[in-house]
Amino acid sequence: MTNYDEYESPLAHRYASREIKKIFSPRERASTWRKLWLWLAEAEQDLGLNQITDKALKGLRSNLIVSDEAFQVIAKEERIRRHDVMSHIFALEKDVPDAAGIIHIGATSCY
């Protein structure tokens, strides 16, 4: 377990269960974003967006859990971009080059 696998807060140490700290951990949050981006891309492909390929979807499916190495890329990119969502998108595009340009397409930062 790394520090990406457990939510950290002064109150979490005292009051939160292990399960709750995992649910709100950086890895779980970022992996949830990746699942949402996959589901969005699948729905957009179903609606006829031709730039979303089966190869891109396969790559997204195989990279749903954010690696420790990806977190290092995310941290570096966030220092440059000053935008958490864009940093995560950039890191996922490095993990899945076939999905570059289609991750988060058509969505706002609130998605």
Signed CA dihedral, 78, 83, 84, 85: sign only: negative
**Dist CA 106 CA 45 (whole Å):** 12
For 61-72, what is each residue's pLDDT tens digit?
Answer: 999 999 999 999
**Dist CA 22 CA 5 (whole Å):** 6
Q: Mean of the pLDDT values across residues 84-89?
A: 92
For 33-53, what is each residue's pLDDT tens digit?
Answer: 999 999 999 999 999 999 999
For 11-34, what is each residue's pLDDT tens digit?
Answer: 666 777 888 888 889 999 999 999
Instruction: Identify the pLDDT of residue 17.
Output: 83
pTM: 0.85
